[in-house]
Structure 1
Amino acid sequence: MFDNEKILITTSENWGDSLPSCKSDEKKQLDYPIQHFPVVMREAIKCISEYVQCPISMAAQCVIGAISHIAQRNVNAPHPYVKDGEPCSLFLLSEGQSGSRKSSAKTIADHSIKEYERLQYDRYRRNDRQWQKKFLGNEKKEHKSCLAETKEPKDPSSVFSDITIESLLGLYIDGFVTNVSISSDEAAQFFAGHTMKSETRNQALATFTKLFDDGYVERTRSKSNLNGSGRAYDVRLTFNLQGQREVLIKALQDPVLRGQGFLARFILTVPENLAGQRFQDKEHQSKDINTDSRMIIYWERCSDLLNDSSDHQRYVIPLDEEAKKVDLAFYNEIESLQAKGKCYEYLQAFASRASQLARRLATVFTYFQGEAFINKQILLAACDVIRFSLNEWLRYTEIELDKESDAEKLIKNLIRKCKQKNTNLILKNLGLKGAPLHLRKIKDFDVCLNELIELKYIRLKIINNTTYLELNPALLK
């Protein structure tokens, strides 16, 4: 227990040197960095945000998700050790409350994909009816030769809002799909669905991470299983999920989802809720997004890429010489921030993938723009997005970092209490009562308190023989 007579109690306003990095300090929300995006993408994002009245970050994630789905068919991202590169597929996760306009933003961003899927499905249905007529019109003995002459048409659908891992594996292994998106504005369909609740969840997560990393899946089943064993190479998966906090917080706190590195592969945004600010006037209501040139150009570009033949082998979009320098600098920047005492010390699973995600995102940008090389400006734009995402993971304070020290947990509690009371002064006894459960014994509490005093995060103050904790004002800015 502290002996207050042995501690220097001062009324001086000078706290001395600036605070060391505090990992538990609440991170400020950053603006989603679209300023250096390819022009067509950037203008489409602004257009969606303007018409739908949703946050820029929400519109941006929708557009990136759509283009990732398109790009993964034809190109690979550069990899420092693999000549043929790696999948450019992206995993995206956006939080949005009910009524945040996430569905509307996603519908607009995916317009060309939905039109393409509809046309492909209509063609499949016509071909399937013709095949069925021909197949069923033959005698049983002629079925084999009929099958050899004309193969049964395959359902070309590649975007799913709700699909189990077993069904997805079956589609890959049977050759029905090569490039898939799991895309939904109701993330509960995925996180609370059968795949994530079943006894095979760990295996499913391993499959998803393998798909992300290598574009490879395998399954071993008994021969009696009609949807049996097999492997599929060079397959792709994009995740574009949006959901409410009540759903996402359970998933983001799940130690299995985080421990297996599944969540670490996601680019995250947690935008501000704009409800109460989305006023309209006659001018706004008279506008038509379907005639806005910004969206028309974006939709046409998506359609052109979708209609480009996907039969050829994927090719790698390499970094040019200037981009290589940016890639190296970004890697070293994020690596240095994972050191002890730095902001990503306890976010290493996420931060260690920063360079990989930036190269993938830059590949998607470059493919959409029609360039042969990833240039410096595009990679810088991608790096900005990944920095933004890492800040979002840090800012999502409801997620308890497994290795947070007791002192970090305590100062987080004290900061929250002081902000609620709009003061930097709090009774020591009140701080003790609100501390994490395992710190509510005075001996353990004072050990952490001593550490925070040494760091100049707090100091003791005696007023009328009552002990207060005074927080460094810098913590509350």
Structure 2
Amino acid sequence: MNAKITLNAPLAVSTDPVTGNTTEYHSIEDFATGCIDERNLKVKPESYICSKLPSYNCEECTALPYVNREQLDKIVGYAITGIAKKYDTEQTPHKEIDSQKVSFLIGEAGVFASNTNNKYMSYVLGTDNIDLFVKLAKAGESVVLHNDIDEAYQIINNGMPESVFRLIAGKSAPQHNSDLFVQLDDSFKELTKAGIKKLFLEKVNQLKQSIDQDLFEQPQAHEWEEPQPLHVASQYVEGEYPIHAFPDVIAKAIKKSAHFHNVPLAVAAQTYLGEQAYIAQRHIKAPSDKSEKGQPCSLFMLTIFPSGEGKDVCKSDASKISEKIESENMQQFRADYNSWSKKKSDERGDAPVNPMSRFKKTTTQAIIRMMADGAGNSYIWATGEGGYLFSGYSLKSDTVGESISVLNDLVDTGKGNALLRNAEDSHYFENKYFSLDIAVQDVVARPALTNSLLREQGFLARVLFAAPTPLQHREVTLEQQSIKPYDDEDLKAYWKFCEKMLTTPYFGNKLFVGDDGRVIITKCQDAERLHIQYQNHIGQEVGKGGKYEFIRAYALRTNQYVLRVAAILAYCSEVDYIDARIMQNAIDLCKYSLDEWLRYYGKAEKSDSELMLEWLKKQDSSKILKSAISTTVYPKHLRSKNNRDAALNHLIDAEHIHIEQIGKKEYVVLNPLFSKVG
């Protein structure tokens, strides 16, 4: 994997000449994600990364990865070579006006290598030919390049475990290790990816058979570690919701909604916080420890609560003003559109732009289209019928990976870049922020919340979560029946506050304004100290035996998510910065969410990885053919490739299983120590 080398000064900077937006990359991992097509060893489109020619696009330049010679699975840099081009962006389409040869380094130099971080590789190649190296790398082969082929062998011999077979390939025979050399000629250029894999698998088997068995060192056995728990102990009780975290006008409204509709405070508070994120994200950004440009203050609220118990009416209370304005805007849009459509084509001009910004029943593709073409810069998917998300098209097995990636990007960055059905159905936008406020029944959500794929891809780690216990039935009286929420003074005060923030928002001192016009909320020094203490607390508790070990990814995500919550609390408190009190309130809200995850996962239901492990243990052999799982595992939903691989990857990370390649087949091997963990 890429080495997470993070520096104060960025490794690379890319400034889009059209928008003026600058992206800083402070680690090789982030740089590779943003700028490198690792499969094809090319620079991605719109990458202005040459420091000497910052206005030149390095798209399609060759990008060869450097790895640490002592740790061949750690990428430390990239060598970029090729032709960088400059365009006249005033013309449409943009016209190329200059080109320059470029050759520069991002990160650190090391040894050229590709695919050497594949934990399941059965062999690795060394070569001295750059063309062969590129061909092999693009075919997915694990390969190391050095201009001396004998030195290339020494590098892979010293840098790879004994379980990986090591051989060298090229056009000219080496001085040493000729018994491990594969001679290649010009016909190799014509081989497909599958043909290359077939060639080397056959060569490896031939070489193994030709070597004296007494001298041939067998692969070392996997060094097992103590297996980690897959299920959190059921020891957490429901905590008190930190209602004190909210400004007084919002806290009073939350309490009244919860009282009128007889729901726990958490049910009402979750949707009120989601609504404030929707209001705030159009005007502000949260601070970020990773970028001086800040980060979106968008949130993903998820509440587990039974149907018909009051979650929908709480949403109506929280979003009454937003929905009223939305309704008025949509009525005006329909009237304008009808008037526009009745005009002659040569008199029409531009069509009215759809102002819709709130979604209830939708899909990720529909959201992308609406955000790309819509008039607003703040959007929310808010619904008390979470089945639209968890049981709808977006999270079906054949679309789940794509949908997760899209939703993650929208919440994290406010950017969209999608090619949907064809080239005409492509959409790009940025600086349009997106939040989710989903309430759903447990029976609908639990299959997703225990799904290893959703947990592995970080989808659930972004959630501020609550799953409170419903309150007991409250006897209805004539007096209570006569009290109407719409007449309550606290709710009226809240609605008046929302109307002010939506129509004449508070912008503070405007000292820190981002490129998109949003105010960047900052932290005072006392708030910074609290944030540092929180990060250290989380770092300790996600370690072995720590409180958050089981939900490590979720806990670590809150290190930056807490800044989003704090920025929203500062904004709706109408103050200019995050002080210590606001930071502590944001921390309390994030800790409540983490504790709710622990309590939820501590219930009896089992995750996909637990179900997979149970099935594996019931098999007659300690080695199970991986491909057979797809036809025989039970429950049947684990037969899906996505679900199967996600569950297996979780078990590998937790040291319950290991994948062993024997010939051309992969086998799942159980940890002989698994019986020590319940």
TM range (shorter): 0.7 to 0.9
Q: The residue matched to 1:268 in structure 2 has which SS?
A: strand
Note if 1:389 corresponds to 2:593.
yes
Note if 1:290 corresponds to 2:486.
yes
Alignment of 1:142-153 (within 5 A): 142=346, 146-147=348-349, 151-153=350-352
Contact 1:92/1:239 (8 A) holds in 2: yes
Partner of 1:458 in structure 2? none
Residues 270 and 131 of structure 1: CA distance in aligned 2, closer, same or farther (over 3 Å): same
Q: The residue matched to 1:86 in structure 2 has which SS?
A: coil
Instruction: Quote the Cα distance in structure 2 between the aligned partners of 1:352 and 1:194.
Output: 30
Q: 1:305 aligns with which of 454, 477, 501?
A: 501
Q: The residue matched to 1:343 in structure 2 has which SS?
A: coil
Partner of 1:235 in structure 2? 432
Bigger helix fraction: 1
Alignment of 1:5-404 (within 5 A): 23-133=232-342, 136=343, 138=344, 140=345, 142=346, 146-147=348-349, 151-197=350-396, 199-220=398-419, 225=424, 228-276=425-473, 278-308=474-504, 313-396=517-600, 397-398=602-603, 400=606
CA positional deviation for 1:334: 1.2
Q: The residue matched to 1:352 in structure 2 has which SS?
A: helix
Q: Deviations over 1:222-280 (max 9, x none)?
A: 7653xx2232111211110111110011110111111100011001101111143x223
State the one-letter code of the partner of 2:236: K
State the one-letter code of the partner of 1:264: A
Task: Answer 1 or 2: higher relative contact order, Cα 8 Å, separation at least 6.
Answer: 1
CA positional deviation for 1:291: 2.1
TM-score scaled to structure 1, two decimals?
0.75
Residues 109 and 446 of structure 1: CA distance in aligned 2, closer, same or farther (over 3 Å): closer
Aligned residues: 381
Alignment of 1:392-431 (within 5 A): 392-396=596-600, 397-398=602-603, 400=606
Bigger strand fraction: 2
Contact 1:74/1:312 (8 A) holds in 2: no
Contact 2:393/2:399 (8 A) holds in 1: no
Instruction: Quote the Cα distance in structure 2 between the aligned partners of 1:175 and 1:43.
Output: 34
Residues 208 and 282 of structure 1: CA distance in aligned 2, closer, same or farther (over 3 Å): same
Q: The residue matched to 1:304 in structure 2 has which SS?
A: helix
Q: Deviations over 1:33-76 (max 9, x none)?
A: 11232111111111111111111000101111111111111111
Q: Which moved more, 1:280-289 or 1:196-205?
A: 280-289
CA positional deviation for 1:400: 4.4
Contact 2:260/2:485 (8 A) holds in 1: yes
Instruction: Quote the Cα distance in structure 1 between the aligned partners of 2:607 and 2:589.
Output: 22
Instruction: Quote the Cα distance in structure 1 between the aligned partners of 2:567 and 2:307.
Output: 33
Instruction: Quote the Cα distance in structure 1 between the aligned partners of 2:550 and 2:256.
Output: 37
TM-score scaled to structure 2, two decimals?
0.53
State the one-letter code of the partner of 1:238: S
State the one-letter code of the partner of 1:52: H
What 5-or-longer segments of structure 2 have no aligned partner? Answer: 1-230, 508-514, 611-656, 658-671
State the one-letter code of the partner of 1:366: A
Residues 320 and 101 of structure 1: CA distance in aligned 2, closer, same or farther (over 3 Å): same
* RMSD over equivalenced CA pairs, Å: 2.8
For the pair shown, which has the larger CA radius of gyration, 1 or 2? 2
Partner of 1:471 in structure 2? none
State the one-letter code of the partner of 2:333: Y
State the one-letter code of the partner of 1:293: E
State the one-letter code of the partner of 2:269: A
Contact 1:59/1:105 (8 A) holds in 2: yes
